[in-house]
Amino acid sequence: MSETVLRLSGLEKTYLKGTPGEVAVLRGADLALRAGEAVALVAPSGAGKSTLLHIAGLLDLADAGRVEIAGQDMTGQGDRARTVARRREIGFVYQAHHLLPEFTAAENVILPQLANGTPRAEAADRARALLEKVGVGARADHRPAALSGGEQQRVALCRALANAPRLLLADEPTGNLDPGTSERVFAALMELVRETGLAALIATHNLDLAARLDRALELREGQLVPFDG
């Protein structure tokens, strides 16, 4: 049986807690995500998808509950331990590419590897290989402004996978793209997920794409339940 890469247990999160306008977005949310599994997360805007991803990715803290990454309990860990876990174990892809504009595509993929202690030559080789794999190798020396939206997002995907994480968290990764470009980015994402065997949790409004993943979950009334379409 595949390793459980991400386990969320009893997550609770309330905003404006203790005020008349408080909003409980997570109410005991549970999830087990295994290596090699790609899971869609669907819910209306404002339901808490991004909050869940931020907590799972150790960018935010839950009010209660437990987060385990690759068997390590991250609950109560300090900032340094959380930062190290994010750098080594987790890759993020957002709706906006967030590439650094002053660096080339290759450099954007090299930088997170250098931060993780990878020698520059090795980091450059891996960056080029990843960019080639998603079809933008010929654009490696171009800055983000010279790339199309689909190319930018594929570079962002390579950056997310630069340090060979075990967990990929994606928040509407094709939300800003036209249907044809969205399909190409999604295909590149899924090819990398299948080849590397990482676990992927992908928030999306695109139900056609969600249906092509291994399973789909809905965030409903603060809990994760199977999505019934």
DSSP state of 104: -
Residue 175's SS3 state is: coil
Residue 1, pLDDT score: 56
Distance CA 88, CA 162 (A): 10
DSSP string, 44-91: -TTSSHHHHHHHHTTSS--SEEEEEETTEE-TT--HHHHHHHHHHHEE
157: confidence class by pLDDT, cuts 50, 70, 90: very high
pTM of the model: 0.92
Backbone angles phi, psi at 74, to 5 degrees: -95, 0
The CA–CA distances, whole Å, from 64 to 51, 77, 85 equal 14, 14, 20
Backbone angles phi, psi at 95, to 5 degrees: -65, -40
Q: Which CATH architecture has domain 4-226?
A: 3-Layer(aba) Sandwich (3.40)
Cβ–Cβ under 8 Å, residues 203 and 181: no
Give the best-scoring range by mean pLDDT among 21-35, 99-113, 194-208, 215-229: 99-113
Residue 96, pLDDT score: 86
- Specify the amino acid at residue 136: V
Closest among 57, 66, 44, 56 to 219, alpha carbons compared: 44
Residue 40, pLDDT score: 95
- Specify the amino acid at residue 214: D
In the chain, the percentage of residues whose pLDDT exceeds 90 is 69
Distance CA 220, CA 81 (A): 31
